[in-house]
Structure 1
Amino acid sequence: MPPHTRTRTGCWTCREAGYKCDEKKPHCERCTRLKIPCKGYAPKLKWRNTSGPPKRPRNGRSTSIEDQYATSPKSVTSVSSAPATMKSQNANSPQEWIYEVTLPLASMPNSIPDLPARDKRLLHYWNEKLSSLISVATRRSSPGPFRLHLTSLLYHPGSLRSTILSMSANHLALASNDKSLKIDAYRHQQDAIRSLQNLIQAQVESSLEPALATVLMMQVSARLLGDEGAEPQVANHLIGAKAMISKRGGLAAWRSSPTAQFLLDLFAYHDILSSVSRGERPLIEHSEEFTAIEGVVDMHGIAKVLRLVARISHMQASAKSPVPDRSDDAPCFSRLQTEGLLIQKALEDLEFSDATLSIENADDLSDIRHTAEAYRHAAFIYLYRVWLGFGAPNPTTLHHVQKSIAYILSVDISSPLVSSHIWPLWTAGCEAVDPEQRQYVRERFYNMYRTRMFSGLKRIVRDIEEVWSYKDTENLVSGLDGMAKVDCIQVILKRRGREVDLA
């Protein structure tokens, strides 16, 4: 699977976005105008699978990823006129080297002799592909966090192994277009539910960690790999996880091993972001001890932003709480104003210096810092919505929209950190009013789907387009002030009757 070099005219930023470049060096005018990083004109390496003869399409003409993606619109005049780019006929076919699924039997796990060969293939797929795809941490070391902390728990039959096998079958079915794997996915899912029920009823201390891992992986599976047309309730699995954490004595009692800490970090990440989609406070109070994402300390900057996001969600829940005595309105309003100012100051004071990271790779350093900045600007958008009740086209919101999108686009689509960009891209994307920015958001989600094959990303795009339609209609009916009052989360809660998968 060697790399090959592609030399193209135009800067790589424009090429990857499907736009014509004016080729003005060192930075093209389009990148300069949009204030986005220009990736330059140098030749680029791209991995190519040479393990077998290339498949030719029915029309007899070979196509590459670049050829298919070049068919995306060069420009749009309005949101309604922009064609959706996440079409199944383009995105459902395996296109990237990560979806090479011809797994030799010799490379499958042989330390589980009782496992059928078909399930060994799924476990191998988890080890080699899926565990890395669902992780948002940098891949400086192998194995990654999910494989490091969970794979050792898979050597014994149980709910976690069945959940992982179900996830692998679901993802592999989409990546390889093998529909028979959907049957395997359903069978393993039913086995996981039965085993989890038995595990919980056993009430054995040693079973709590595998049980919590199972519930959290069910949460990840429902968010990323759930049926495209399903209407998930984001908090269901998290409520179960909260009960397990409380049963053992709370967060402090769980911090007994690296794997337990990894699970707590994973829970905090999902709990905080699901609080945004519910418009409620997190299920558990996450203290200063939540300092990392997936146990990777170099991602502490993102954890800092998420702790502030949790405070904004608390603020929103307090603002919605009924006041028993109307005479208490003024003190309540004063407390909310004070809290809003404190959170705003905390966000302004955040710094993501490379000096605080123990990473030598310049690309990883840049990706972590840019992701943290994208989160910070998205948190500003969320804060002003909750605290002051406004969004785009307010100039303050638009400033943070432009910044957040720019930071996201500066991270290469192949970076594992892109898997963590759903919330900031949703938050900034929903408030985008410029047609070109909206198209960037569409294309970015398309590329995330193309390189990861997570069906939940399609649902996210539909939700964003629903918000855009609602905001544009409100603009026509009530003007810019009416548009600024549209709460993106509430649009989906009221129109679709469900939360948005943001984690």
Structure 2
Amino acid sequence: MLLYTRLAPPKPPKRRSRGGCTYCKEKKKKCDEKRPTCSRCGEQGVECVYGTVKPRQRKRRESAPHTATAGTPSEHYSAARRLSELSYYSQNSSYLGWGVDNRCQDLTRYGDPPSVVFNTHFSLGDYPPIDILDDFPNEDTQDPITGEIPDIDAPADEDGNSPSGPLSPRTISKTPDLAMIAPCPIGSPLQEFHAPVFTEFTDRPNRRALIDHFCNVLSHLIVFREETGNPFQQLILPLTRKSSPVLNSIFALSCAHLEYRGIENSEKSLYFHNQAIQGVAQMIAQKEKANRTDILAAIMLLVYYECLVQKGRSNIVAGHLKGALTIMCSTDELLDPAGVFLERAFRFYDVITALSNGTSPISTTPSPGGLLPFSPIGATPTSPLSNVDTLLGMSTTLWPIIHRLSGLSSLKSSLDTAIQTNSSPTKIAVLRTEFSSTAQAIEAALNNWHPQLPSDFSPPAGNDDPDADPVVLSASSSSSSFVSTTKSSNIPSIYHNALAYRHASLLYLYRTILRHPRSHPLVRKHTRLTLKNCVATVGHRGPMSALLWPLFVAACEAQGEKDRGLAREAFEKVERRQGMRNIGRAWEVVGVVWGRVDLEGEGEKEGGIQKEIKRGRGRCGGGV
């Protein structure tokens, strides 16, 4: 991957006439195609017959080999940096506001409570909305991925790839003959890139479109910080040069994201997923010959994929995480920047999976100061986002507390089992004391935690008041309750995201662990505060990565039209921005829970509602 060379001008194609007469074709002689009789038929005195010219069948092209000689690390770094700078779009870029009006995702099939219809056409900031079909070539333009004029009438090859382009639908060209002209390489402003783009990954147009989607859309949706470039482009993309499982994992993730939005690729995401799984198995079998960072990257990308596409409760994510932990523990060597980045992604999913399934994390609890913010390559220590982690936002100091919280469910289950089975009083007393002291310590830590803010940022007044309305300001407005002179407009969203995790963790503690009733004042308070911060996060139009878990936890406990209105607003906006299947599944579960609460209320049916919420957490994941 990312080996940049100057391409030589294409050789003029050899053209053979296919319109010769039948006699010349049988004799395998060149026909001058004179009408009504060619020269050879006139000399031989035979009847000259011209048959119908059949369409030319395209030959299958083999993919570019993935085992090309790897460049030096400095070459990988500089090439990845150039790619990151070229394809970087800010979080307010209208490119992220893509969608198709007639492909709405109806998430209201569970009745009246969650009455909202999500669509996929929207805009961010002050930029106009963009329809994804605008990015496809019209009848007079070139394909931005292949550099060719599309010809929809041309037959598909043996792989099912249409020469008209990687994605459908496509428009018909009025001049199909132009499709036979080879594109001339056009240098980019940086002089290292040539059209068609992403040729260093693969020569297949549909796969280049998936790389383009990963770089320009998907990688921006799953990080908090990228002022000097996107870490997925800087650290993960270079690994694809020598690792086909990493490349296939990226293909699977991008293809699944497009499929949920109704954009079909000629190859399905399941095919790439199976190829990635087989590749990871082969790399593990090689043991010492395989690069551990490559294996870890492929596994974590598959975790992202599973959280995005799984339709029911599954242990696949937990299995991938166990494999990733084995890889990380198999060496005492210091991890490179890509390994540190992937380890941070592992810690996030380890805790979220434990919270969703009611199990304990498989990794050890990090020390309170053990998770330093991971910055993009090239970020300066004086950046206003210096306290913001790429994947955890402002929650690096909160994460050890949430890690301990995720293990309380298993401890609670052990205590309940001991009581139900009439275990010895000593054992029950020990378990009860451990559970009570741990819960109290976690509650105190959550109540005392506050995110570390830039010196020139002041949070809005009344942010901890559950009765106050969410403070959401546009980029051009100002208020004495919200002061920030930093150049980054993402800080408000990152700040409210961290507070949403704090209040959702307290809600999880009171409702799921301590089993307070839905009407308990603490449950109602932190439900409202979680939803308020979720609405503020999406309202400031900054990063919305990893917002699903706190939003789902609070939405399931929402009572009254005000709280449910906040949940609707947050779900609608985060689904529009992120465009991921697990968000839609979470909303479906919320609709079921609201329906059962309205129908049955609290009391003897409360246990069934909690089981439905637990099953829902397992089905919807909550990662991306």
Query: What TM-score, normalized to structure 1?
Result: 0.74
Q: Return closer, same or farther for 1:96/1:168 CA change in 2, 3 Å cut-off.
A: farther
Q: Which residue of 1 aligns with 2:112?
A: 81
Q: Determine if the alignment matches structure 1 residue 128 to structure 2 residue 213.
A: no
Q: Which residue of 2 aligns with 1:195?
A: 279
Q: CA deviation at 1:55?
A: 9.5
Q: Return closer, same or farther for 1:331/1:166 CA change in 2, 3 Å cut-off.
A: closer
Secondary structure, aligned partner of 1:282: coil
Query: C-alpha separation between the residues in 2 aligned to 1:429 and 1:158?
Result: 40
Question: Which one of 414, 417, 435 corresponds to residue 543 of structure 2?
Answer: 417
Question: Which one of 130, 143, 155 corresponds to residue 97 of structure 1?
Answer: 130
| Structure 1 residue ranges without an equivalent (≥5) | 1-45, 58-64, 74-78
Query: C-alpha separation between the residues in 1 aligned to 2:335 and 2:131?
Result: 35
Q: Return closer, same or farther for 1:328/1:82 CA change in 2, 3 Å cut-off.
A: closer
Q: Determine if the alignment matches structure 1 residue 223 to structure 2 residue 291.
A: no
Q: Deviations over 1:185-206 (max 9, x none)?
A: 2332222122111111001265
Q: Determine if the alignment matches structure 1 residue 298 to structure 2 residue 388.
A: yes
Q: CA deviation at 1:124?
A: 2.0
Query: C-alpha separation between the residues in 2 aligned to 1:56 and 1:415?
Result: 21
Query: RMSD across aligned C-alpha pairs, in angstroms?
Result: 3.6
Q: Deviations over 1:434-481 (max 9, x none)?
A: 133223313322222222221121111112222223333442654xxx
Q: Which residue of 1 aligns with 2:413?
A: 320
CA contact (8 A) 1:86 1:458 kept: no
Q: Which amino acid aligns with 1:152?
A: P
Q: Return closer, same or farther for 1:476/1:274 CA change in 2, 3 Å cut-off.
A: closer
Query: C-alpha separation between the residues in 1 aligned to 2:400 and 2:268?
Result: 39
Secondary structure, aligned partner of 2:397: helix
Secondary structure, aligned partner of 1:97: coil
CA contact (8 A) 2:100 2:131 kept: no
Q: Which residue of 1 aligns with 2:228?
A: 141
Question: Which one of 446, 464, 473 corresponds to residue 572 of structure 2?
Answer: 446
Q: Which residue of 2 aligns with 1:17?
A: none
Query: C-alpha separation between the residues in 2 aligned to 1:415 and 1:145?
Result: 21
Query: After superposition, where does 1:49-448 map in structure 2 within 5 Å?
Result: 81-82=112-113, 84-86=115-117, 90-91=119-120, 97=130, 99=132, 101-102=135-136, 103-105=144-146, 108-110=196-198, 112=200, 115-133=203-221, 135-142=222-229, 144-175=230-261, 177-181=262-266, 183-204=267-288, 206-224=290-308, 226=309, 229-233=311-315, 234-248=317-331, 253=332, 255-288=334-367, 289-292=370-373, 297-299=387-389, 301-321=394-414, 322-323=417-418, 324-355=423-454, 360-361=486-487, 363-412=489-538, 415=541, 417-448=543-574
Query: C-alpha separation between the residues in 2 aligned to 1:174 and 1:354?
Result: 36
Q: How many residues align?
A: 421
CA contact (8 A) 1:430 1:464 kept: yes
Query: C-alpha separation between the residues in 1 aligned to 2:121 and 2:567?
Result: 20
Secondary structure, aligned partner of 2:543: helix
Q: Which residue of 2 aligns with 1:16?
A: none
| Structure 2 residue ranges without an equivalent (≥5) | 1-91, 137-143, 147-193, 377-385, 458-484
Larger displacement relative to structure 2 (236-245 or 91-100):
91-100
Secondary structure, aligned partner of 1:404: helix
Greater helix proportion: 1
Q: Which amino acid aligns with 2:578?
A: R
Query: C-alpha separation between the residues in 1 aligned to 2:424 and 2:447?
Result: 35
Q: CA deviation at 1:98?
A: 8.1
Q: Determine if the alignment matches structure 1 residue 491 to structure 2 residue 612.
A: yes
Secondary structure, aligned partner of 1:209: helix
Q: Deviations over 1:286-327 (max 9, x none)?
A: 312234478785136312223212211222211212445233
Could you tell me the percent identity over the aligned residues? 18
Q: CA deviation at 1:255?
A: 4.4
Q: Larger radius of gyration, structure 1 or 2? A: 2
Q: Which amino acid aligns with 1:162?
A: N
Query: What TM-score, normalized to structure 2?
Result: 0.60
Q: Which amino acid aligns with 2:402?
A: V
